[in-house]
Chain A
Amino acid sequence: MNNLELPTEKTAEFSSVDESSLVVIIFDSNPGQKLLRENPHLLTHCLDSIISFSNSHLMQKSQNKLAVMACHSRKSDFIYPGPGKPLDIRQVDGQYETFTLVEKTIKQNLAKHLAGESAMLNTESLLAGAIAMALCYISRLQRTKSPAFTLNSRILVVTGSSDSASQYMNYMNVFFTAQKQNVVIDVCALDQHLSLLQQGCDITGGLYLRLPQLQGLLQYLLWVFLPEPPIRQKLVLPPPVKVDYRAACFCHREMIDIGYVCSVCLSIFCKFSPICTTCHTVFKIPALAVKSKKKKIKL
């Protein structure tokens, strides 16, 4: 890596006293993820990497802020700072107190969060909802901070689940909101490729990375996701992948190039049909469609 030639003034700019950054990490804790079903020990491995990443973020600047959320198919919780009073921590082994606090709080709250969730359930993790909560949280910090202070916010999603079209609208709503509020969404995919979340990264200016090997999780987190977005342009990071923005038809959830859009509700269909299944509007049949589908449609 030949990225050590950062101009000195630039470095100064990013480290001004009245600017700091908030990272909200959303960790997919679903025991039904393929990855965890095959090897439950990976949960600890991932968690340790996330804790180390969290501490590195806090260490970069004393004003930096951190929140960690855990999300599975039935609920999403803030596991750091978490509800209630902070834990009472005394210095252990000369470790910086905050780090101990982060680690203990995360582990304790994650255990509570996971209680009762069984690995048999292979339902999807409701990540779009967790992002919605994170955006509410960020919006409060932005509202209540002193106006002289700049807080750059980003959300990092770490997940091994696959993404599913059933959360499509929630995903789109959170992506557009993040874009409007200047919140960057980063995604670290541990297992499958996630085309919806990748669109979110593209819309909000974040980074999408599908991890080549799980063993290197911490290295990748520190290398790719720790630098703040303005600095990233100057680093040698994995090249951006082209995002597929094709539409998925509402009828079969298949990707299409050409489709039919309901003029009332903008639902997308892959074939002409006389009635919209979303809003129940009955359509006037266009001349062309009549010709080609005369036999099929009786009106």
Chain B
Amino acid sequence: MSRIGVFVCHCGINIAATVDVERVARELGQDANVVFATDYKYMCSDPGQQLIKDAIAEHDLDGVVVAACSPSMHERTFRQAAGDAGVNPYRCEMANIREQCSWVHQREPEQATEKASEIVRTLVAKVQQDEELAPSYFPLTRRALVIGGGISGLEAALGIARSGYPVVLVERQDHLGGKMARLSGTYLNFEAAPGLLQRRVEQVLSHPHIEVMLQAQVTGLDGYVGNFQAWVADVSAREAGEPPAEPRRIDVGAIVVATGWDPYPLNRLPEYGGGKILDVVDGLTFEQMLQPGAEIRRPSDGRVPQEVVFVQCAGSRDPERGVSYCSKVCCMYVAKQAMLFKQRVPEGQAYVFYIDIRSAGKGYDEFVQQAMEAYDVLYLRGKVSKIFARGDRVVVWGADTLVGRPVEVEADLVVLATPMLPGSGALTLAQTLHISADGYGFYNEAHPKLRPVESLTAGVYLAGAGQGPKDIPEAVSQAGGAVAKVLQLFAQETMVQDPTVAYVVEDICSFCGVCVPACPYEARELDPLRRVATVNAALCQTCGACVVACPNKASRIHNWEPGQVLAMADLLVK
């Protein structure tokens, strides 16, 4: 017989308005293994936790079930409380009667109450068979790997190094800086990008904690959070046609992926003369003409263009022929480029075709207004249908939907504001690092709101335009967030390993290997000497795939034993 306590939470009115919490506590109190049951307004509050601790002491409890919200919300809270009061934390379980009951059954309170009691009963059955477990601890490597030497990678490397930890910065090109090195003046104050960047590059190169590896690429990754082994290969030999050197092994505890973006190939826009007409260029090419010291000249004949047409959303927001997403920075850089053009060629005329202006951000809309009002840039609201050459000029067909008329502009130069694509090779790198990417190849964050700088693989963090189009301030902020995550990890004395992971009952394992490919986290291997499957506990995410896959029930998860699952099911399937 166990001595289990059941604690039913109201969650204010979240649960109590639908589920009769008192009745649930009363009903569970009758269970032979439950020696104490009560309800309370907020179990997670300090008094709520104290209530649990007091009950443990008073009734000599050896197991706890908290009927409340999802375990991903508060399992840690209640296990901590139970542990403090002397109950093994792994004999404290949560019964989810909020997300899986009260919230979804608001119209049927009677049945919701019955369902809540059933859910709690299954957890009471589980706790009876829960073993007393203890977490394990292992050391971690306090060195970080940063992949990509653009502004985000530079910021991440500096942030970690300045906190006192060594950093290896891997960049596949022969210089640092990424795309920012090719920009002109940046919005909002036209400060020159190369200057801003140069300071950062020098700080990185001179920092004693940062080792920079140029013309290098990560080709393999083993291990797990806190203890990765990365393999970094020199790609300069391959480019020079020589045999590649052996990749170098670098042990790190955390990884920041900052591989940035690449431009959209112009020849994917044949309707705009992309790749066919020399005087149709993309935004990045025009940036280079606007750089300090450079000149604005037509690629075809070197003349200074007088009439320049900017085409926004060229290839973006176009699910049929281009990419569906908004590239986020182009509305802003077009305004900037149009103004810089007018500063250099005051008698020139700039036209901007746009669908709508996306200039959210502090000071951003004012900046675009400045282009319209102070610089007389002519903004025409309409999509461009076609661009072609007429003599030595470039004809742009668009529309001005505000007056409802088609428009033709004969220009000297056309700038296509094309979308940022994920860096080439991003998908290969994602596979190497076991992180996921979306359909375009932008890395996926672990949660779009609450975990925006983490990948789904513990210890691998994201920064910059590789995760989605962003401008420099955003890239820098995300890099700061990634740094904070790395430091949070490095601040731990040791890595804690949760014990509720998969294991193999070796006596009945038939060495069939079915579980190995079933595991999505590459946590399983076959041991050819002992002829059994083994689990790398640090990689196991307790997903259960191997348990289902194993034909012999040899693969199991601690405290999710077959006997427990069956006992729980028995209560539900009558």
The reply to whether chain A is a binding partner of chain B is: no
Q: Contact residues of A with B, CB < 8 Å?
A: none
Q: Contact residues of B with A, CB < 8 Å?
A: none
